């Protein structure tokens, strides 16, 4: 599919922000399953571009003049195809590093006991997909039930969450099974589910020496396909978040984020 994507993020503040730093991971790269035909990010001031440890394209900008609103817009066209296996030739981040849990992914004893019969004994595609299906069935998708700071353990306790929580739970269970896994942020195209336009899933390492990864969408209990557009990789949401930052001043914040994805061909 040839998909046109527009991602607009708007911040409004009750009082002037005196100083802020924004870090964006809003630029998809051409890789297996997707070819970026054109892409542009519009920011209030010029951003500095760099690659982070995961080889994500990272845009950073600093504002030191007072402001009460800010708009960030990313837009472009990506051509996608069905692909769920990826190979990292550069091995920028060792898969062994991705065996470590984070605060967001750390599983509780109750979680491990609940999924005990579904934990993979190996890193085969079938075993990983079976675990993803078990997580999907146990954790009901309920928009608004959690937020960006919610822990996997909290989502599990509620038996509810969104794609971010599905991903964090699956990450924690894979790592507890001694299988390296990483978080993927991106977009998901479907005409009848606009809430899923901003999406998250995971990659699981199936061959450490060769750097081969398998991409699994827990929310849909499937491997990634032409509906998925990859933006960034990380240990969890925090290191792969599309937009994050810190500020001084501003008071209460109102955030509006809209994503539209249209199929061109």
Q: What is the pLDDT of residues 202-258, one digit of tens each?
A: 999 999 988 899 999 999 999 999 999 999 999 999 999 999 999 999 999 999 999
- The full set of domain ranges for the chain reads 2-80+243-263, 85-240
Q: What is the DSSP letter of 46?
A: P
Question: C-alpha 61: how far from its chain's center?
Answer: 21
Residue 194 pLDDT: 59
Whether pLDDT at 195 is above 70:
no
Average pLDDT of span 95-109: 96
Range in 49-63, 85-99, 210-224 the model is least confident about: 85-99
First to last CA, the chain: 6
The answer to whether 74 touches 39, Cβ cutoff 8 Å, is yes
Residue 89 pLDDT: 61
Single pTM value for the model: 0.95
CATH of 85-240, picked from 3.10.620.30, 3.30.2290.10, 1.10.1040.10, 3.40.50.300, is: 3.10.620.30
**Domain 2-80+243-263 - what CATH class?**
mainly beta
């Amino acid at each position: 599919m040839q998909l046109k994507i527009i991602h607009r993020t708007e911040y409004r503040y009750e009082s002037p922000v005196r100083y802020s730093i924004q870090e964006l991971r809003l630029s998809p790269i051409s890789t297996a399953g997707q070819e970026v035909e054109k892409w542009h990010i519009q920011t209030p001031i010029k951003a500095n571009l760099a690659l982070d440890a995961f080889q994500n394209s990272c845009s950073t900008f600093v504002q030191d003049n007072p402001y009460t609103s800010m708009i960030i817009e990313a837009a472009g066209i990506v051509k996608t195809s069905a692909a769920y296996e990826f190979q990292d030739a550069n091995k920028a981040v060792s898969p062994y590093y991705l065996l470590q849990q984070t605060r967001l992914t750390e599983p509780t004893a109750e979680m491990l006991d609940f999924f005990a019969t579904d934990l993979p004994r190996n890193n085969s595609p079938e075993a990983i997909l079976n675990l993803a299906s078990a997580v999907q069935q146990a954790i009901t998708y309920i928009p608004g039930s959690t937020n960006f700071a919610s822990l996997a353990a909290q989502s599990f306790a509620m038996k509810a969450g969104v794609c971010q929580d599905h991903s964090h739970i699956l990450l924690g269970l894979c790592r507890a099974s001694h299988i390296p896994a990483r978080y993927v942020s991106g977009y998901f195209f479907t005409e009848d589910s606009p809430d899923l336009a901003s999406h998250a899933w995971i990659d699981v390492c199936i061959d450490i020496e060769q750097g081969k990864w398998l991409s699994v969408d827990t929310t849909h209990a499937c491997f990634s396909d032409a509906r998925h557009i990859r933006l960034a990789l990380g240990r969890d949401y925090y290191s792969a978040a599309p937009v994050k930052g810190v500020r001084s001043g501003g008071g209460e914040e109102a955030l509006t984020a809209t994503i539209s994805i249209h199929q061109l061909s």
